[in-house]
Chains A and B, each alone.
Chain A
């Protein structure tokens, strides 16, 4: 069945540094979404990628979808304390209507 691995599970970052979290799938994805969950909160949609090789930016966040549509990354530059939380990738496939989530990367920031 569908298997999406999200790495790393935890990311401890010095304020001002960059980091990247990855989602890797064993099969081709129809699309990928990214969500952020603040501690104690609910997941909030960040972005969706649909096209092979797609790159989108939101201020300090850069999202990529691989050429084979099997992996995706979220890169954050100049990390701030407001970036604390858990980042999830979420994905669907072309043959069902599920929206499944990766295990998430929990980010903590050292001031």
Chain B
């Protein structure tokens, strides 16, 4: 059982470039989340989704976009990357609201 899979694990971007962080889960979970974690800091919610076709903003959505065309996939898009987006990005899923969240291994992104 793969759980939550994130790709890539590491990426270096130049300022102004764009990229998509992939997240897929095989547990048929409705709820999915994207977080960023800056060094020594907590997890900040970027976007979340309560099901296919439904997404909503979290605490820090500026500079990011998401889509949820299927239950399994919840990609995070960065347009015009900035150094402030250097962070570790975690995707998570849960079967219902307010239940255990399962995390992917994370994507370490550096913008230079």
Chain A residues in the interface with B (C-beta under 8 A): 6, 30-31, 33, 35, 42-45, 48, 88, 90, 92, 97-104, 106
Contacts and interface: CB of A to CB of B under 8 A. Distances in A.
Interface string B40-69: 111111001010000010110000000000
A101 B43 contact: yes
A30 B104 CA distance: 25
B24 to A, nearest CB: 15
Interface of B: 31, 33, 35, 40-45, 48, 50, 56, 58-59, 90, 92, 94, 97-106
A103 to B, nearest CB: 4
A45 B59 contact: no
Contacts of B41: 103-104
B90 A99 contact: no
B104 A99 contact: no
Contacts of A101: 35, 42-45
Nearest to A103: B42
Contact of A45 (B44, B101, B106): B101
Given A92-B98, A99-B48, 13 more contacts: A42-B90, A43-B101, A43-B103, A45-B102, A88-B43, A97-B31, A97-B50, A97-B56, A98-B48, A98-B58, A100-B58, A102-B42, A103-B41
Contact of A42 (B31, B33, B56, B103): B103
Contact of B42 (A31, A48, A92, A104): A104
Given A97-B97, A99-B48, A42 B106 contact: yes
A30 B97 CA distance: 11
12 contacts: A35-B101, A42-B90, A43-B92, A44-B103, A45-B101, A45-B102, A48-B99, A92-B98, A98-B58, A99-B92, A101-B43, A104-B41
